[in-house]
Chains A and B, each alone.
Chain A
Amino acid sequence: MSQPGMTIIVKNTTRIIAGFIALFGVYIALTGHLSPGGGFAGGVILAAAAVLVVLAFGSGFAGRIVNEPKCHIWDGTGAMGFLVVALCGYITGGFFVNFIPIGTAHHLLSGGMIPLANLAILLKVGAGLAGAFVALSAFKYGRPRSIRRVGREL
């Protein structure tokens, strides 16, 4: 019984719900222009799924799914995507000017460029927060062993 991470109960629960949590985060971001929420809230929820995986399985195993290079790449992509959305405004007049038809209110495809901006923020915040957590989980020096293993002893 030397597997890293928490007990099998926690692992199995995480296996089932982590995907749903991530999906809920994407949903919150996708409907950000229609209901409360948005890119930031969705990104936080997405990152919570990653945090859950790292906590349950230990940073060593979870590193295959959530690791530093991946977080950097998606973080940069999200930020770049937001900037590209802003720069595309130059097509119709200027920085951050809407360049997509606004559509009908309360429909999913509406709000002009706001959904795109929300998706970019989802990536940025999700990867950024997950990356911050991965960075924190990499530092476990200087703590007594008993505290480090507390999750497994239970």
Chain B
Amino acid sequence: MEQLVPLLVALPLGAAFLIVMIAHAGPLKRLTTPLAVLAVLVNLLIAGRLLWAGALHVYVGGWGQGQTLGIELVCDGLSKLMLIVINFVALASIIFATQYMRRFTKVWLFDALFLLMTGAMSAVVLAGDMFNLFVFLEVAAIASYALVAFGCESEELEAAFKYLILGTVGSAFILLGVTILYSLTGHLNMAKISEALRTIGPDSPGVLLGGAAIIAGLALKAAMVPFHAWLPDAHPSAPAPISAMLSGVLIKASGVYALARVVFGVLGVSPYYANILIAMGLLSMVLGMFLAIGQWDFKRLLAYSSISQVGYVVLALGVAAEAMSRAAPDRTVAALCLFGGLFHLFNHATFKSLLFLASGSIEQQAHTRLLKEMGGLSRRMPVTSFCCRIGALSISGVPPFNGFFSKLIIIIALVLSGHNVLAAVGIGVAVGTLLMYIKVQRYVLEGEPSDAVAAAREAPAGMCIALVLLTIVCICAGLALVPLRDLLFTPAGEALLGALP
């Protein structure tokens, strides 16, 4: 079983390299897209198989547990949750891309970069040492810079350049933080850094500097306000399947997951980090919502809404850290916060990628991204519209869809931990989100069809399959709350809380 873990990284990377090799080889080049779908599907199956294994520690290259050197891959509850999320969204996106990308040239390059990004994200969530985490954050980020620029229009190149510069600044901060922690402790392995930091003390200036640098870098990757400036340009500019991957999983794997892992697993919870997370989460929720409501570009609205929804997750993580950093740690409330936060992370991955894919279908048919120029699509594109509507209802927190349950759990956990004001803000932002998606439904799906959408037809079958796949998860995840909690979220929360003393 342990031998399967490195394959999660090796398989997508290998498929990406193979695609580059066969791309110029005559008839073989038709195989690139099926190969990409197959690689992601097998990866999802491996990730699903690992769910029933315990926490696995794999020492790559035969280095043992006692040694300081060597790469460790950790596949615990949180990694498994993230692997399922990454590979599931990747599967839906690549199925969607088989049809959607036909109007682009060099689809093989898209497939290769897509697999590179998927493999790198899988490696990020498996990394057991800080340097490996940094390296794969960079691999995923570099693949995503290229993918944002894939259309090669001036707007896309500008967005990609902005993303490249800000992403590199973020990476530099992360590397600086890792270097500081390494110089203080002499370790790169997360568990060993954490052990060593306990003897140094979390309040020493060096540790705080290192922690601040890492958190700033990761917050930039997660597009938390005030580090969010790149996201509303980068995410809408990419092709729709990539927008779905970026908003659905990349900001979570390389931002939120890494933040959670570093704060809980390496730095150890302290009021400083908890308050920073709470403040960033709160700011992102509120500002992201207000910025999103004012947008008239469909994909830009979705991008701002990602900032707002990821704010919920970070807020829940922050409150969990705060509950654990009290004089008398409240483990029950922290576990509930983490459950809510991680469940919202899972849900946001499904409905935001669903909405981005739907926006891609709609853009392809309506030839516009502006809400005011659309209208009446519910009759012209019934399947896409139905899926889009389910996604919009889920993200706005309408029962019985999954977004309702995760927001409810987060708000209950906020009240239980004594943060009544935060809970009230959470409810307010949920109402704002509902408003913003009523606007989407009103302008995109309802009303009289405009001239632009007069010729709109239903999207091809492959694109609809991807949308339906995600819609089913949106509907079922809310109803299958309890089995999912036992299978995915409780082990994931335990993996974070178990790392604390």
Residues of chain A whose beta carbon lies under 8 Å from any beta carbon of chain B? 69, 72-73, 75-77, 79-80, 83, 86-87, 89-90, 93-98
Contacts and interface: CB of A to CB of B under 8 A. Distances in A.
B21 A69 contact: no
A122 to B, nearest CB: 15
Given A76-B18, A79-B13, A86-B10, 13 more contacts: A72-B21, A72-B24, A76-B17, A76-B23, A80-B17, A83-B17, A87-B10, A87-B14, A94-B6, A94-B60, A95-B10, A95-B60, A96-B60
Nearest to A124: B17
B62 interface: yes
21 contacts: A72-B21, A72-B24, A73-B24, A77-B21, A79-B20, A83-B17, A87-B10, A87-B14, A89-B61, A94-B58, A94-B60, A94-B61, A95-B6, A95-B10, A95-B58, A96-B6, A96-B60, A96-B61, A97-B61, A97-B62, A98-B62
Contacts of B199: none
Interface of B: 2-3, 6, 10, 13-14, 17-21, 23-24, 58-62
B20 to A, nearest CB: 3
Contact of A93 (B21, B23, B62): B62
Contacts of B24: 69, 72-73
Chain A CB within 10 A, most for which of B6, B17, B18, B19: B17
A80 B11 CA distance: 11
A80 B61 CA distance: 18
B62 A73 contact: no
A-B pairs with lowest CB-CB distance, top 5:
A76-B20, A95-B6, A76-B21, A96-B61, A80-B17
A73 B58 contact: no
A88 B150 CA distance: 34
Nearest to A95: B6
B499 to A, nearest CB: 24
Contacts of B20: 72-73, 75-76, 79
Contacts of B23: 72, 76
Nearest to B108: A72
B403 to A, nearest CB: 38
A76 B111 CA distance: 13
B56 to A, nearest CB: 12
Nearest to B70: A96
B26 to A, nearest CB: 11
Nearest to A70: B24
Contacts of A79: 13, 17, 20
B10 A83 contact: yes
Contacts of B62: 93-94, 96-98
B59 to A, nearest CB: 8
B3 A90 contact: yes
B60 A80 contact: no
B306 to A, nearest CB: 32
